Structure 1
């Protein structure tokens, strides 16, 4: 892509560009020419959004048909005569209610906006709405059956609910992975222009580009005075009064407003009208960083869209739910992984002398120290060599630094660490209440001593076996990014996010890639 020259003679993506106005120049907008006017009439929601929503519709339909078909032809006939039965002598054939339930299920997915363009492909809201719509359908079935005195086959709730819901969630995840691959090549993305002050534009661009899978491709910026230069590698397209023409010329379908002192409410409203005429998405990026959706509540007051932000809380029933999940999850995982742990213990013993298990003092919630368990993956006396290795790599005072090509790791240890097998004994720490399945990784007291008042917020929750930065790049992340992701988790904890992290953890353990060592 070329940038505009001082004379404004070059073009963006083969279309005419607009020379930025000089400070103090007349603030009159140029009339749209015929080509730009035609572009305005043609512009609608990006076609890929409709195609992707249609893909989700077909996927959901196929999954529900398969689930109900398997249930009706395999599970139900072997256990019960019919799906529904009343107090009379005649039972209703299972085919009819299954078709009705399938239609209601699809209608519920539509009614709960599970394919809404504002949520598909990013975040947890899409998954949450799929779960809500599914439970709504089954709750409605129970209520109707109760009042009409109809008995519903119990196998329907034991099979169709968990299998159908799991299938829908896996299908959405698979579609999202398909979308991510296309977005990585520049397809299926929103072409966005960012408008506002230079510093705010730079911050928004950095945040969007540092997060995988946002779906936004930043194609340009509009500043109040439109000085012809770059903000990082983002070209400044035009001054504020020529924003409409610049958006038409570059073919953007999204305008991200970061705010600027020069933009008054009247100018904002007129710009909003112009974007509505073009069906360009109007996105406002407030000066808030690392705040998840569930904490944000919009409330219109006196014509002002006030944004309320909840403070993070992990108390009461939330803490009880997380602890209950940790207990059940750690017990199940201990049972499932016991053969792997036995094989790891034997391999460690065969390789050489030394203990199988290794304990190290780590700092947990509220600064309490505990003994964290691991399979020994290093040579004996590895802790005594740590300080000298940190000095050699020039990081004696970095709390999140990991030694590259660590010579202390054994051959068996390298395999275990790559697939996180060495972490499995920490399930006992989770069961005892010192750790959680998901949370910031616990660190050594010497590292915690280096925390400032910002990083100390990591200690508000229990440390975890897995966390957000472990599934977002692991060893390739910078210390700053690791801290940011841990703080994001602390500030925005949710049960849904925990499930998502655990799901991504399984993927990272099975196929660790280059980021694990």
Structure 2
């Protein structure tokens, strides 16, 4: 064993040089740079939309139409008020907070909340002072700012994600906790580098240290064990680490976590405590004191109510619009299917929907006629699907036209009719077959609490290349943490997943 490995093994000699202190400056630099880019983009977007709207209304004379007696000066004043309210609301809603930038739907949710607050505030001003000139700013200009700002933010985020996948712009993390929970945390950070974490060192308890096999003591899944949890504050104080992640372990009592928080005061590191409910995120988690103790409150997932009604309405309206736009494409595909293999254009299949209801899902036929009967005669060893799903990368039953339709998910477009009739949603878990549901365990059955979707987290995260466990985990994450902002992100990502055609067969 060389000297470097020997340092790993001795817990009384922590490796304080695992993360160089110079990383602190570089981390601060890219964080400040990314935040400046977002702030600048929001300002330019807001001012550009407001300016174009003001010039358009001024030239068309629409001000006089909506507010007789108002002149150009009043129009300019209303434009300034609108821009100031939007930018002020973005600041108040923490839309520029570095911790909310670069990952998750929360960034877009904060922008949406800021714009909605702006509309309400301007409406109150207009109502109080009878300022009818504000109407076009409330109902047209502010929504246009959102439709422009969100894609711009997405482009900036994608640039950041590309750098993170290349190993840049990552926060150096020191993780501490149980060995198995540390393994899971390390695996997740490597699987999702766009989240911005890079675990550079781990700390474990002395009991865990003695329990590790000798050949494991230097590292956990390639990450060096830099010391014991008792030495955590000292290691952080040496510099370099920007996040201290506490993974679940019996060692972490409330008193120890509180003392560690005191010890980290004044350092550059932020302490993050990973809850046991790792798949519950977003607005369902709230911290509120009870009897003087900060408790983590987990609200129930939303399966009914106003938000679900809004989702259903948006689903059906968007589905109708997409069907109208795609009508010429449907005609072309129908002709190609007829020429290629004859037979019916559409394929109908029984699927399981919300609360176990059976419905008929329709797709463009991509296989030869009688494909379901042919499956019974196929070798079970040819099944390359995950869990109870039957999949083959080169299924001989797929037609030439069907292969193209499947690669780009065009065969699923008729499911828009299912969305219009209410049996499916635009976004949701994958619609399962009845024989698949028969093998569901209680966790997988939670997929049936919401409508199945035309797309979902499974669609934008690998599609057929996912393992069964990963597919279930992604669907459950959606079921537990659904929001309109998350739907927007998934729909946007679906476009690029379909264009790339990866994981579809």
TM-score by length of 1: 0.88
Is the CA contact (8 Å cut-off) linking 1:196 and 1:258 kept in structure 2?
yes
1:60-71 alignment runs, 5 A limit: 60-71=42-53
Using the alignment, how far apart are the partners of 1:339 and 1:192 within structure 2?
52
1:348-367 alignment runs, 5 A limit: 348-367=337-356
Map Cα deviations across residues 470-509 of structure 1 (whole Å, 9 max, x no partner): 1111122111111111111122222222222222222323
SS of the counterpart of 2:304? Answer: coil
1:14 alignment partner in structure 2: none
Alignment size in residue pairs: 494
1:471-490 alignment runs, 5 A limit: 471-490=460-479
1:5 alignment partner in structure 2: 5
Is the CA contact (8 Å cut-off) linking 1:382 and 1:408 kept in structure 2?
yes
Using the alignment, how far apart are the partners of 1:64 and 1:242 within structure 2?
49
Deviation at 1:264, TM superposition (A): 4.6
1:210 alignment partner in structure 2: 191
Using the alignment, how far apart are the partners of 1:143 and 1:504 within structure 2?
36
1:21-420 alignment runs, 5 A limit: 21=12, 46-81=28-63, 92-152=73-133, 154-211=135-192, 213-225=194-206, 227=209, 228-249=217-238, 251-389=240-378, 391-394=380-383, 398-420=387-409
Compared CA separation, residues 192 and 387, structure 1 to 2 (3 A): farther
Deviation at 1:336, TM superposition (A): 1.2
Structure 2 unaligned blocks of 5 or more: 210-216
SS of the counterpart of 2:99? Answer: coil
Using the alignment, how far apart are the partners of 1:43 and 1:18 within structure 2?
30
Deviation at 1:458, TM superposition (A): 1.4
Compared CA separation, residues 400 and 246, structure 1 to 2 (3 A): farther
Using the alignment, how far apart are the partners of 1:401 and 1:222 within structure 2?
43
Structure 1 unaligned blocks of 5 or more: 9-16, 23-28
Tell me whether 284-293 or 99-108 shows the greater mean CA deviation: 99-108
SS of the counterpart of 1:468? Answer: coil
Compared CA separation, residues 398 and 259, structure 1 to 2 (3 A): closer
> Given the alignment, which residue of 3, 6, 11 partners 1:20?
11
1:491-502 alignment runs, 5 A limit: 491-502=480-491
Deviation at 1:338, TM superposition (A): 0.9
Map Cα deviations across residues 17-43 of structure 1 (whole Å, 9 max, x no partner): 894139xxxxxx99x9xx99x969x77
Deviation at 1:138, TM superposition (A): 2.6
Is the CA contact (8 Å cut-off) linking 2:21 and 2:239 kept in structure 1?
no
Tell me whether 423-432 or 389-398 shows the greater mean CA deviation: 389-398
Tell me whether 182-191 or 149-158 shows the greater mean CA deviation: 149-158
Is the CA contact (8 Å cut-off) linking 1:82 and 1:153 kept in structure 2?
no
Matched, 1:504 2:503: no
Deviation at 1:307, TM superposition (A): 0.5
Deviation at 1:454, TM superposition (A): 1.9
1:13 alignment partner in structure 2: none
TM-score by length of 2: 0.90
Structure with the bigger percentage of helix: 2
Using the alignment, how far apart are the partners of 2:385 and 2:228 within structure 1?
48
Using the alignment, how far apart are the partners of 2:123 and 2:379 within structure 1?
62
Using the alignment, how far apart are the partners of 1:501 and 1:369 within structure 2?
25
